[in-house]
Structure 1
Amino acid sequence: MSNENQTPIVPCPQCGKRLYWTSDNPWRPFCSKRCKMIDLGAWADESHRIAGEPAMDDASLDELMNRIERGD
């Protein structure tokens, strides 16, 4: 069997367990429902975040809009 026809083996993003990447795994890319729920909980309590600049508060947004209107 050639490498192109082999099913990829990937690590679970939560626990690192290696698993086959197939449609037979309903928790893909996780190895189990438990790992999937742990990851979801981390997003819900904001332990996981996507990097970026902090959102503007209302005062900063108003100041920016005033500067734009004045042409600063």
Structure 2
Amino acid sequence: MSTTRKCPICGKPRVAEHAPFCSLRCRDRDLVKWLDDGYAIPGERAHVPSPKDEDEI
């Protein structure tokens, strides 16, 4: 069994410069997934006030 950890995006061996990824490309792909709501942290949805809510204050 190999003890080398793999890139979570493509499965290639990690590179220290881009850890925990193997390349800048995989690092950027992960960032885009976060920015496009591809990942989610479990929990209740936060209340986002609507413009109507602000008029009542």
Asked if TM exceeds 0.5, the reply is yes
2:23 to 25, 32, 35: 32
Alignment TM-score, normalising by the size of structure 2: 0.69
**Structure 1 residue 49 corresponds to structure 2 residue 40:** yes
Distance in 1, Cα, partners of 2:44 & 2:5: 31
The structure 1 segments of at least 4 consecutive aligned residues displaced by more than 6 Å after TM superposition are none
Stretches of structure 1 lacking an aligned partner (at least 5 in a row): 1-7, 60-72
C-alpha RMSD over aligned residues: 2.2
Give the TM-score taking structure 1 as reference length: 0.56
Identical pairs, percent: 40
Q: 2:13 aligns with which of 11, 15, 18?
A: 18
Q: Describe the SS at the equivalent of 2:14.
A: strand
Measure how far apart 1:45 and its partner are.
Answer: 0.7
Name the one with the larger strand percent: 1
Give ranges in structure 2 of 5+ residues lacking alignment.
Answer: 51-57
